[in-house]
Amino acid sequence: MKASKILFVMGLLVLVVGIVIAIIPTAVETWQKKEQPLVESVITVIGGGSLFPIQNLVFMAEGSKDISVSGTVRELKGGRFDFYAFNKKNYELWVAKASYKAFVEAKDVSSYSLSFSPTREDVASALYLVVVNRNPVLGPSISVEYSIKISWSERSYATVLGGLVLGMLLGGLGFLLIVVSAVMRFVFKPQKEESNRLIHSSILIHSPKMRVFGR
């Protein structure tokens, strides 16, 4: 097989493989697990009072799923407290002493391990992780330690982008091989024809003339 034909076939195969690699990953849904601290702090709540800590900012991509909040809260000296986890709407209902729905509601505990699954909208508008001091007003304060993290899954665009870049590189290489094979075909073909023409002319020049004898 001629070199130009070999390059053409190789270029065509590499081009097709590149196109396939570039297209297929974009159709595959890939999810990446992410996790970060939500609250790592100690708060002090006066007797008869309630308080919630300031949370770390969470940047969660649209369409994220499998959102989970987990961790522990504990009173450093073993004091008793009530603990609630709300979204913004239900926290406001709880403050207004109206009917509410909490993610977590634990009463008269000295420590508590929590786990719940809010929505992305709940996280964006803030979660309220409330501690209530069960002591009476002017009674002893309590110090509660929070160690809470948040995790979620979001689409991984790095994998899609990597496949796209690799596919484009292979496609470019395949196209280049096809162009080189075409150049070789059209550049070397006239040279071969010219060489054949010169050889044919040389044979005619050096061949003995034909003689015709009459009878």
- Say which residue, 106 or 173, is predicted with more confidence: 106
Residues 144/81, Cβ–Cβ less than 8 Å:
yes
Q: What is the mean pLDDT of residues 201-212?
A: 52
Could you tell me the pLDDT band of residue 213, with boundaries at 50, 70 and 90? Answer: very low
pLDDT the model gives residue 196: 57
pLDDT the model gives residue 207: 53
Could you tell me the pLDDT band of residue 184, with boundaries at 50, 70 and 90? Answer: confident
pLDDT the model gives residue 169: 79
Amino acid symbol at 111: S
**Residues in a beta bridge with 33:** 153
* Average pLDDT along the chain: 82
**Residues in a beta bridge with 70:** 115, 149
Could you read off the pLDDT of 144-175 as tens digits, one per residue? 999 999 999 998 766 566 666 777 777 788 77
Q: What is the mean pLDDT of residues 78-82?
A: 95
Dist. CA 92–CA 52, nearest whole Å: 13
pLDDT the model gives residue 136: 92
pLDDT the model gives residue 61: 87
pLDDT the model gives residue 215: 45
pLDDT at 192 over 80: no
Determine phi and psi for 48, rounding to 5 degrees: 75, 0
- Say which residue, 103 or 197, is predicted with more confidence: 103
pLDDT the model gives residue 177: 74
In the chain, what percentage of residues exceed pLDDT 90? Answer: 51
Q: What is the mean pLDDT of residues 107-126?
A: 95
Dist. CA 171–CA 204, nearest whole Å: 50
Instruction: Write out the two tokens for 30.
Output: 């890939």
pTM above 0.75, yes or no: no
What contacts 161, CB < 8 A, 6 or more positions away?
Answer: none
- Say which residue, 25 or 168, is predicted with more confidence: 168
Dist. CA 61–CA 66, nearest whole Å: 12
- Burial classification of residue 83, based on how many CB atoms lie within 10 Å of its CB (0-12 exposed, 13-18 middle, 19 or more buried): buried
